[in-house]
Amino acid sequence: MARIVFKFGGTSVSDVAHVRRVATRVVKAFRAGDEAAVVVSAMAGTTDQLDHWTREIGGMMDAREYDTVVAAGEQITAGLMALALQSEGLMARSWLGWQLPIETDDAHARARIRHIHAAEIEDRLARREIPVLAGFQGIASTGRITTLGRGGSDTSAVAIAAALNADRCDIYTDVEGVFTADPRIVPSARRIERIAYEEMVELASLGARVLETRAVEMAMRNGVSVQVRSSFHDTPGTLLVDEDEIMEQDVVTGVTYSRDEAKLTLTGVHDKPGVSASIFGPLAAEGVNVDMIVQSGSHGGERINYTFTVVERDMERAVRAIEDARNEIGFDSIVADANVAKVSIVGLGMRTRPGVAQTMFATLAERGINLQVISTSELKISVLIDETATEEAVRALHAAYGLDSA
């Protein structure tokens, strides 16, 4: 007997027929003797609609009311899922975040889970009931409903699995698992059977949309065994495991990309101590996250250039913050360019094998793809390129590292 947390969301619960269909997976496991808890997110498109309505009425003036609105989608699917399970003859009931409760901090619209009171759920499991929990939401110490930030229900599921000490957290989605690259771009991409948490954190944060980065980090910290599986096909999916559970590491595990990047270039900056702080301080104060950074120029001269990247929606705000700090920084011009993409290779195997970066650079050079910025860490290399070359770059790298399926 295993204790399993099932997570369904989006397209897996897009209408009543889908809710019924995925519920049969829970029923099957339950009838086989497993304990099951279910975490749901909203029906596909629902949260977008709720979010849109708050913007229409005047935006995020009061984030507490924003949360009240956008948390509503999960209430619907939680109730429907409980009804679907009941119609199969099982005992099931829904739980909203405040009912457990799932305690969070009071950072509305991006709250962090502090504590989950799971005793009642434990009790219900022992009585062979199936608790259905609304993902994405919690309650602040103020008593107000909070949400965890868009896509946050994966984090809810992992947190609940950790609190229940579950044997597994199965996250059902519309793809068959984690792939070596986006199969829409690389038809020869393969499903990865087992991937190390660390690699998955990188893939998720560098653009792979299959799991939320925060959820993966939480799973890694708490040793939650996460499996990504398809709602629509009965295939094995991808298992997240500790590094030492992977016998032979490939050099590169996956290639990923993000088009949601913008490049800012600051020219003619006075080269003096403290200048970096004078640039990035105002950006931090504006809440703009800076990703890749290069500083260049100056052969004995006193002027240098800075190039750095931010997510596209922060681009205008970043330019304004820099313009406002012009006097403190001292520079000639600032140019922003959203026509860039970040392409990354990820793999724990690259730590121990030389020449990995060289293969990447040579592969892209052969295709005339210019590298505008490079950044590396122990287990990833990212390059910033012209956005129009994204697909060609991903395909070429996938082949170059031997990831194409035979």
- The CA distances from residue 26 to 44, 96, 125, 208, in Å, are 20, 19, 13, 27
Q: Is 237 in the site for ligand ASP (CB under 6 A)?
A: no
Give the shortest CB-264-to-ligand ASP separation in angstroms. 28
Contact pattern for Mg ion over residues 92 through 131, marking x by CB under 5 A: ----------------------------------------
**Integer Cα distance of 146 and 140 in angstroms:** 6
Q: Is 207 in the site for ligand ASP (CB under 6 A)?
A: no
151, 177, 237, 254: residue in contact with ligand ASP (rule CB under 6 A): 151
Give the shortest CB-151-to-ligand ASP separation in angstroms. 4
Give the shortest CB-132-to-Mg ion separation in angstroms. 17
Residues 145-184 that bind Mg ion (CB under 5 A): 151
What are residue 261's DSSP bridge partners? 340
Q: Of the ranges 18-26, 146-154, 177-185, 270-278, which one interacts with ligand ASP (CB under 6 A)? A: 146-154
The upper half-sphere exposure of residue 145, i.e. CA atoms within 13 Å in the direction of its Cβ, equals: 18
* Summary count for the chain: helices (H), strands (E): 13, 18
21, 150, 194, 259: residue in contact with ligand ASP (rule CB under 6 A): 150
**Integer Cα distance of 406 and 397 in angstroms:** 16
Q: Is 254 in the site for Mg ion (CB under 5 A)?
A: no
Which residue of this chain has its Cβ atom nearest to Mg ion in the complex?
Answer: 151
Residues 37-96 that bind ligand ASP (CB under 6 A): 41-42, 47, 73
The upper half-sphere exposure of residue 347, i.e. CA atoms within 13 Å in the direction of its Cβ, equals: 23
**Integer Cα distance of 132 and 149 in angstroms:** 20
Neighbours of 143 (CB within 10 A): 9
Q: Is 9 in the site for ligand ASP (CB under 6 A)?
A: yes
Q: Is 104 in the site for ligand ASP (CB under 6 A)?
A: no
Q: At 120, is the secondary structure helix, strand, or coil?
A: helix
Orientation of helix 197-205 relative to helix 213-222, angle to 10° = 160
152, 177, 282, 347: residue in contact with ligand ASP (rule CB under 6 A): 152
The tokens for 77 are: 């699917």
Q: Which residues bind ligand ASP (CB under 6 A)?
A: 9-10, 41-42, 47, 73, 136, 150-154
